[in-house]
């Protein structure tokens, strides 16, 4: 899960995907990162933590990190939150870029539309709840699709 600073959207996405993957009995390694390193080592934004906790998910132990080229090999799937994140992941990966592994998270809901998860940074709490629901729907759709394919 990749966003800009790794303190609002991608920590929520990491926590949500991990929570629902575990509920589905999937032993996946879920992680998040930012394309910028301004918040490296920081906990997720207080409102991201609050909204996640309100929904039964604890993301308080997460720490922000910066996306690195090696992540393209480490993970089977990389979800980005917006176009800037997509372009930055592509730039960071350079010759290691693999278009098959990187996609917009919201393409799980509307394939090929490249809709962006809005950045709730500097918005009131309500925006964090909206972002949580968007991410939850996308993550659950991804997990359900995976489980259906596995059971074919």
Domain ranges of the chain: 2-150
Residue 119 annotated in active site: yes
Predicted TM-score (pTM) of this structure: 0.96
- Catalytic residue, candidates 8, 9, 71, 139: 9
- Catalytic residue, candidates 31, 71, 103, 119: 119
Q: What is the CATH number of domain 2-150?
A: 3.40.50.2300
78, β-bridge pairs: 102
How do residues 68-121 score in pLDDT, each as one tens digit?
Answer: 999 999 999 999 999 999 999 999 999 999 999 999 999 999 999 999 999 999
**pLDDT value for 151:** 83
How do residues 41-51 score in pLDDT, each as one tens digit?
Answer: 999 999 999 99
How many residues make up the chain in this entry? 152
Look at residues 87, 86, 129 and name the one whose alpha carbon lies nearest to residue 107.
Answer: 86
**pLDDT value for 73:** 97
User: Residue 152: pLDDT above 80?
Assistant: no
Report d(CA 49, CA 66) in Å as an integer.
19
């Amino acid at each position: 899960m990749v966003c800009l600073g790794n303190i609002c959207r991608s920590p929520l996405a990491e926590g949500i995907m991990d929570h629902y993957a575990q509920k589905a009995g999937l032993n996946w390694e879920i992680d998040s990162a930012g394309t910028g390193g301004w918040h490296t080592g920081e906990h997720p934004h207080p409102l991201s933590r609050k909204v996640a906790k309100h929904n039964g998910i604890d993301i308080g132990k997460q720490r922000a990190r910066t996306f690195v080229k090696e992540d393209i090999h480490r993970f089977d799937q990389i979800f980005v939150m917006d176009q800037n994140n997509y372009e930055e992941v592509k730039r960071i990966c350079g010759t290691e870029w693999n278009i098959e592994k990187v996609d917009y998270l919201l393409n799980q809901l509307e394939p090929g539309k490249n809709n962006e998860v809005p950045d709730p940074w500097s918005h009131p709490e309500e925006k964090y709840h909206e972002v949580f629901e968007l991410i939850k729907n996308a993550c659950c759709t991804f997990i359900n699709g995976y489980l259906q394919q596995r059971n074919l």
